[in-house]
């Protein structure tokens, strides 16, 4: 399940001076992630978004990989940023859907947020808008569901870094944070690699000067691999080919 923050702050720029809003960058990264999910392996993709509360039922119920991209794109078209930040509610809604509707033994959540929780149910309970008396969500509430947490912004100032890092570590996932549309796509690729146990061989960022038709070559060495997937992401939207 993809769990996306759609609070009001997601209308802000994805990085300083960028014309791309965080919400649009998040949608682009979610589409890229979905497109990578392999058909014919029993994988499903669903979507829950949250602001003051989470969408219930989810924006997109679990959908087989072969139909997921079009379904995710359609669901994302109806997701707009406004309201507060109920991270815990988004996670609980996604986990409940996975456990009641999912039939795969291994289940995972990719969480994206750009802020600190300020509406219950809370993971920590000390933030603005939380009850201040401790966490509303008990340790172990997500069972064996793997969680990869992505923070969209400065981890030390705008995010619940310790809360998200502890959650990801407890649930067998990773926590990563930063700003920028391209950086966000890299983070979603890291989560894909972690969730699906795919080895990420090389992940460079290059600058292609104006008037130049190709970048420097990137060499990939492979032994005994039966499949290699190449992912190309652009700073603003999808690459345009002549």
CATH number at residue 59: 3.40.50.410
Looking at the predicted structure, is the pLDDT value of residue 34 above 50?
Answer: yes
**Percent of the chain predicted with pLDDT > 70:** 95
CB 165 within 8 A of CB 176: no
- Number of domains forming the structure of the chain: 1
Residue 66 lies in a domain: yes
15: containing domain: 2-195
Averaged over 99-120, what is the pLDDT?
93
83 pLDDT higher than 80: yes
DSSP category for residue 17: T
Q: What's residue 190's pLDDT?
A: 93
**118 occurs within a structural domain:** yes
The pTM assigned to this predicted structure is 0.90
3-state secondary structure 167-213: HHHHCCCCEEEECCHHHHHHHHHHHHHHHCCCCCCCCCCCCCCCCCC
Is 121 a domain residue?
A: yes
Q: Is the pLDDT of residue 242 over 50?
A: no
Average pLDDT over residues 133-156: 88
203 within a domain of the structure (yes/no): no
Instruction: Kindly state whether residue 170 falls inside one of the protein's structural domains.
Output: yes
Of 20-34, 59-73, 120-134, 182-196, give the lowest mean pLDDT range: 120-134
Instruction: Specify the range with the lowest mean pLDDT, choosing from 79-93, 115-129, 169-183.
Output: 115-129
Would 26 be classed as within a structural domain?
A: yes
Give the strands of the sheet with 175-178, arranged side by side: 60-64, 44-50, 2-5, 108-113, 146-152, 175-178
């Amino acid at each position: 399940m993809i769990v996306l923050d759609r609070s009001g702050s997601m209308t802000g720029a994805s990085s300083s001076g960028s014309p791309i809003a965080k919400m649009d960058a998040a949608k682009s990264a979610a589409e890229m992630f979905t497109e990578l999910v392999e058909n014919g392996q029993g994988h499903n993709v669903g979507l829950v978004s949250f602001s003051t509360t989470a969408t219930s039922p989810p924006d997109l119920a679990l959908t087989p990989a072969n139909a997921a991209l079009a379904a995710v794109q359609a669901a994302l078209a109806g997701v707009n940023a406004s309201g507060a930040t109920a991270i815990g509610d988004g996670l609980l809604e996604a986990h409940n859907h996975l456990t009641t509707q999912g039939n795969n033994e291994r289940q995972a959540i990719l969480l994206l947020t750009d802020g600190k929780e300020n509406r219950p149910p809370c993971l920590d309970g000390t933030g603005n808008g939380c009850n201040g008396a401790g966490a509303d969500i008990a340790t172990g509430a997500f069972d064996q569901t793997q969680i990869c947490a992505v923070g969209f912004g400065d981890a030390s100032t705008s995010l619940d870094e310790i809360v998200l890092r502890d959650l990801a570590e407890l649930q067998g996932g990773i926590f990563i944070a930063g700003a920028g549309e391209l950086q966000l796509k890299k983070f979603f690729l890291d989560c894909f690699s972690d969730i699906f146990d795919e080895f990420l061989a090389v992940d460079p960022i290059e600058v292609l000067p104006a008037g130049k038709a190709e970048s420097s070559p990137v060499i990939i060495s492979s032994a005994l691999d039966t499949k290699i997937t190449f992912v190309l992401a652009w700073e603003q939207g999808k690459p345009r080919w002549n």
